[in-house]
Amino acid sequence: MPTDKFQKQIPNKIHPGERLVDTHCSYCGMQCGMKLRVDIASNKIIGVEPRYDFPVNLGKLCPKGTTAYQQVNHPDRIKRPLIRDNAALKGTSEGFREASWDEALDLIVRKYQELQEKYGKDTLSVYSGVSMTNEKCYLTGKFARIALQTRYIDYNGRFCMSSAAAGLNRSLGIDRGSTVPWTDIHQTDCLFITGSNAAECHPTSMFRIWEVQNRGGYLIVVDPRETPLARRADIHLDIRPGTDLALANGIVHLLIEKGYVDEEFVKNHTNGFEETKELVKDFTPEYVSEITGCDIQKIIRAAEIYGKAPNAIVMFCRGVEQQSKGTDNVSAYTNMALVTGKIGRPKSGVATLTGQGNGQGGREHGQKADQLPGYRKMDNPEDVKLVAERWGVPVCEMPKKGVSAYEMFQLMLDKTIRSLYLLCSNPAVSAPNQNHVRSALKQLDFMVCVDFYLSESAEYADVILPTTTWAEDEGTTTNLEGRVIRHNQAQNWYAESKPDWWIQIEIAKRMGRGEYFGHLQSPRDIFTELTELSRGAVADYSGITYEKIEQNNGVFWPCTSDEDQGQPHLFLDKQFYHPDGKAKICALPYRPPAEEPCEEYPLRLTTGRVVFHYLSGNQTRRIPFLKEMYPDPLLEVHPETAEAYGIKHDEVVVLKTRRGQAKYKVKIIEAIRPDTVFVPYHWGKDECINLLTNPALDPYSRMPEFKACAAQIVKLDKGGKYHG
């Protein structure tokens, strides 16, 4: 492991009657190390202690991490299976009765068989998530394709990491979110961070980020809002939402013009430079400023700082990825590293700030519509053949490629899909264009939801199966660095809940497909099958074992043999993962957002997170401290805009787009562009900002354009009524 100036050895105190269990946070991609305090007498988790030995966070936890343990024995936990008795109450939390596991599972299998007999195998669908362990993500892909025999499986990472994955694959031939370990961050000379509110979304990265400036290095931040990160930046480029591609092309234009190109690196290790040079010629600072709204001198200075820095890391997050050209944005920012040769060595590279806990591993093991375990591809016959052989099914029985998450809802509306198995996700809050998504869920013939709380999406289910939280099971996740880490079980399964792997294997057996699943008795068995199947694939885990993870505080993939200790840094040998070993510098013409402001909708709406909540808020909105700190969504408006609309701080207004509308309390704040408004996305029902967001999809990643659409504010009358 690299040496780390922040490393401290502080012993944890063990209180009498308690034990400490080493594990990791359940929430974001940092996967901070923590110790759960367990009361020995009751075998219940009662608290958390910092863990100083995990190099990513070194004892630090954010407000979500310090309260994550409160999810486990929360009074809202679902204790036993629930069956809906009253179909008229779909879309509400009413109309369920408790049932035994046998009754619930038998009902599911009977319904599945009836539907498949009538409408074909592909009438079933699975929609999963990446807050699950690698073992569960892997098994979910196999469950959909082999137990349910459907092509329709996709996951919520489609709304989170899919553009990072597609962009990095295109540029570098591999999608490991970070080319360097997090312990490199504070040692670099320049951080260029774009589309990330890291101080709120990845707070335990901040001690390393601030250290770059403390050492005399530079911090450049691109964000339409003056976030806590942007506030302390040396340069803040306050970009118009949805215009990143122009800015990235403009920076590359300046890097070339001002002589910062690493000619030797470009010649020997990349393709595409000449086409890109030609394309970015037009992206002068003046032209880029016109599109992005950023100050010309700041654009020039940012390029100079990045170009001059001996080492630099470009970091990006959902702000650039959740666009209808998110893939292009990722490749365009990666171009900065490739033209200057600031990649493939320590302290330099690109890094994506992964949102969900297992956003990295969850996209590697085969729960994407177009992908098989190890990052193998559904449209590669060799890959399909290999996986079919390992799973022991004839190739002709392997389902074909499915469709992306948002497109599955469209297939539900046209009745191609009549049933949904939903796990680890809450699309009735998190998907764009909610009116459409909620109609799709409501009209399903049969829906199963696996969750530990009755989420907004679970309200549409016919059967709810209670699953365990992260702390009640063991397994691995892969954090934002590409480090595979181990989660340990701290307490027994809550009430009658069961882990997802147990549920899926049980359904598989009852569907008559037990021969493909019966040998899997535990997460460890599943991990062994996963690692074996990944051998020789891009995401090669074949040299990773639970023991090796334990001994090394995590193992970076690729790790290809018992002797291999994994690769914290990628491309040190300057070999990229395209067949010719070269990276691709991509020539990417600028496209505006799918929806630009107009007379009727003159504002740009963008969305994001706050430090106190996670994703759809299904977990964090139940934790008293987090709820108290940020109880309701607020609409952030610049004072000039507020004045133009005649609205005051705390006033309730309607925010409206072409897809829907919702009421929000106004927060007047200078830290946002006057042409832009912001609403966080952690709330459901009538407060859900995704009633308004645009489902325009990126052509490669199929990511919806959450980050930019046209909106208007409507004032309520004196009686609080809306006339729109």
Closest separation in Å from C-beta 212 to ligand SF4: 18
Determine the interface stretch with ligand SF4 among 25-33, 43-51, 278-286, 592-600 (rule: CB under 6 A). 25-33
The one-letter code for the residue type at 106 is D
DSSP alpha helix (H) spans, 659-699: none
The 10 Å Cβ neighbour count of residue 628 is: 9
The H or E element spanning position 626 is helix 624-629
Determine the interface stretch with ligand SF4 among 26-34, 85-93, 259-267, 283-291 (rule: CB under 6 A). 26-34
Closest separation in Å from C-beta 26 to ligand SF4: 7
Closest separation in Å from C-beta 156 to ligand SF4: 17
Closest separation in Å from C-beta 555 to ligand SF4: 19
Closest separation in Å from C-beta 68 to ligand SF4: 7
Contact yes or no for 623/678 (Cβ under 8 A): no
- Quote the CA–CA distance of 262 and 26 in Å, as a whole number: 41
Closest separation in Å from C-beta 676 to ligand SF4: 26
- Residue 558: asked if its preceding bond is cis (omega within 30°), the reply is yes
For the packed helices 296-308 and 285-292, what is the interaxial angle rounded to 10 degrees? 120
Closest separation in Å from C-beta 34 to ligand SF4: 7
* 613 forms part of the interface with ligand SF4 (CB under 6 A): no
Determine the interface stretch with ligand SF4 among 56-64, 189-197, 553-561, 618-626 (rule: CB under 6 A). 56-64
Q: In this structure, what token pair is assigned to residue 518?
A: 């019966």
Q: Which of 35, 202 has the CB closer to ligand SF4? A: 202
E-assigned strand segments in 333-380: 349-352, 371-372, 376-377
22, 23, 30, 586: which one contacts ligand SF4 (CB under 6 A)? 30
Determine the interface stretch with ligand SF4 among 11-19, 24-32, 278-286, 465-473 (rule: CB under 6 A). 24-32
Closest separation in Å from C-beta 141 to ligand SF4: 25
Closest separation in Å from C-beta 257 to ligand SF4: 39
38, 45, 62, 130: which one contacts ligand SF4 (CB under 6 A)? 62
Determine the interface stretch with ligand SF4 among 22-30, 144-152, 405-413, 430-438 (rule: CB under 6 A). 22-30
Q: Which of 64, 208 has the CB closer to ligand SF4? A: 64
The 10 Å Cβ neighbour count of residue 316 is: 28
Classify each residue of 645-671 as buried b or exposed e, where b means 16 or more C-beta atoms within 10 Å of its C-beta.
Answer: bebeeebebbbbbebbbbbbebbbbeb
Stretch 160-219 residues interacting with ligand SF4 (CB under 6 A): 202-204
* 36 forms part of the interface with ligand SF4 (CB under 6 A): no
* 363 forms part of the interface with ligand SF4 (CB under 6 A): no
Q: Which of 466, 482 has the CB closer to ligand SF4? A: 482
Q: In this structure, what token pair is assigned to residue 493?
A: 């399964």
Closest separation in Å from C-beta 512 to ligand SF4: 41
Q: Which of 542, 619 has the CB closer to ligand SF4? A: 619
- Quote the CA–CA distance of 700 and 83 in Å, as a whole number: 39
Closest separation in Å from C-beta 723 to ligand SF4: 42
Q: Which of 23, 433 has the CB closer to ligand SF4? A: 23
Closest separation in Å from C-beta 62 to ligand SF4: 3
Q: Which of 53, 496 has the CB closer to ligand SF4? A: 53
The one-letter code for the residue type at 628 is E
Determine the interface stretch with ligand SF4 among 39-47, 58-66, 263-271, 297-305 (rule: CB under 6 A). 58-66
Closest separation in Å from C-beta 430 to ligand SF4: 17
Determine the interface stretch with ligand SF4 among 61-69, 246-254, 323-331, 683-691 (rule: CB under 6 A). 61-69
Question: In which order are the strands placed within the sheet that holds 44-50?
Answer: 18-24, 33-39, 44-50
DSSP assignment string, 576-594: -SSTTS-EE---------S
Pick the closest to residue 449 from 422, 425, 428, 430 (CA basis).
422
Determine the interface stretch with ligand SF4 among 11-19, 62-70, 268-276, 559-567 (rule: CB under 6 A). 62-70
Determine the interface stretch with ligand SF4 among 55-63, 154-162, 437-445, 655-663 (rule: CB under 6 A). 55-63
Closest separation in Å from C-beta 307 to ligand SF4: 31
E-assigned strand segments in 52-178: 82-84, 96-98, 124-128, 153-155
Closest separation in Å from C-beta 25 to ligand SF4: 3
Binders of ligand SF4: how many residues, by CB under 6 A?
Answer: 14
* 31 forms part of the interface with ligand SF4 (CB under 6 A): yes
- Quote the CA–CA distance of 623 and 165 in Å, as a whole number: 32
- Quote the CA–CA distance of 307 and 296 in Å, as a whole number: 17
Closest separation in Å from C-beta 479 to ligand SF4: 8
Residue carrying the six token digits 């490393």: 7
Strand partners, 49: 35
* 25 forms part of the interface with ligand SF4 (CB under 6 A): yes
Contact yes or no for 242/705 (Cβ under 8 A): yes
* 28 forms part of the interface with ligand SF4 (CB under 6 A): yes
61, 256, 303, 350: which one contacts ligand SF4 (CB under 6 A)? 61
- Quote the CA–CA distance of 330 and 178 in Å, as a whole number: 12
Q: Is 377 exposed, middle or buried (0-12, 13-18, 19+ CB in 10 A)?
A: middle
Residue carrying the six token digits 């700041």: 298
27, 69, 192, 700: which one contacts ligand SF4 (CB under 6 A)? 27
The span from the first CA to the last CA of the chain, in angstroms, equals: 60
Determine the interface stretch with ligand SF4 among 59-67, 80-88, 91-99, 602-610 (rule: CB under 6 A). 59-67
Tell me the residue number closest to ligand SF4, measured at CB.
Answer: 65
The 10 Å Cβ neighbour count of residue 638 is: 21
Pick the closest to residue 457 from 719, 92, 189, 185 (CA basis).
92
Pick the closest to residue 73 from 424, 452, 425 (CA basis).
452
Opening angle at CA 159, ends 659 and 249, nearest 5: 95
Q: Longest Cα pair distance anywhere in the chain, in angstroms?
A: 72
Q: Which of 25, 291 has the CB closer to ligand SF4? A: 25
Closest separation in Å from C-beta 204 to ligand SF4: 4
20, 23, 32, 303: which one contacts ligand SF4 (CB under 6 A)? 32
Closest separation in Å from C-beta 453 to ligand SF4: 18
Contact yes or no for 609/682 (Cβ under 8 A): yes
Q: Strand 190-194 to strand 218-222: parallel, antiparallel, or no bridges (unpaired)?
A: parallel
Determine the interface stretch with ligand SF4 among 21-29, 121-129, 225-233, 568-576 (rule: CB under 6 A). 21-29
Q: Which of 27, 218 has the CB closer to ligand SF4? A: 27
Determine the interface stretch with ligand SF4 among 54-62, 279-287, 562-570, 634-642 (rule: CB under 6 A). 54-62
Rounded alpha-carbon distances, angstroms, from residue 308 to 65, 260, 297, 475: 38, 7, 16, 43
Over the window 64 to 103, marking each residue x when it contacts ligand SF4 by CB under 6 A and - when it does not, the resulting string is xx--------------------------------------
Contact yes or no for 665/636 (Cβ under 8 A): no
E-assigned strand segments in 303-461: 312-316, 349-352, 371-372, 376-377, 419-423, 446-451
- Quote the CA–CA distance of 634 and 624 in Å, as a whole number: 19
* 486 forms part of the interface with ligand SF4 (CB under 6 A): no
Which positions touch ligand SF4 (CB under 6 A)?
A: 25, 27-28, 30-32, 57, 61-62, 64-65, 202-204
